[in-house]
Amino acid sequence: MNAQAQAQAQAQRQRLDDIVSLSPLLPGIATASELMSGYQLGCRRFKFFPAEMVGGTAGLRALSGPFAGVRFCPTGGIRQNTAADYLALDNVMIVGGTWLTPEAAVASGDWAGIRELARASLAELNA
């Protein structure tokens, strides 16, 4: 790596350190090359988005070999009935899905309904 590339890499690491020190960070990736960029900056946890569109569970299984220490929060296209498939993967720590927050429930402030959807989802996943 030449001096200019080293300086750029150091500047990127410093920017990431500055951001991480201010707030929690879960950088989003959709490709292995994006993951590699984050990995070089010290990241080991990533949002995988849009999960279904970029390979779903098969894509995450493929990433588990070369990136054994990396874990993911897949979102995008995940449904209540597919969440368990993702959570069964060793490299998945959590999933996100819009089924938990339907637009109408959010718009009307139906937080009790959203809580019930979350409870029902957890019950189904733990069954």
Lowest mean pLDDT of 21-25, 60-64, 112-116, name the range.
Answer: 21-25
Whether residues 31 and 90 fall in one domain: yes
Task: Dihedral sign for Cα 58, 117, 114, 105, please.
Answer: positive
Residue 11 lies in a domain: no
Residue 10 has, within 13 A of its CA and on its CB side, a CA count of 7
Residue 17 lies in a domain: no
Domain count for the chain: 2
Q: What pTM value is reported for the model? A: 0.78
More confident residue, 74 or 98: 74
The residues near 111 (Cβ < 8 Å, ≥ 6 apart) are: none
Residue 87 included in any domain: yes
Output the CA torsion 102→52→91→64 (10° steps).
Answer: -170
Does residue 91 sit in the same domain as residue 102? no
Domain encompassing residue 73: 25-96
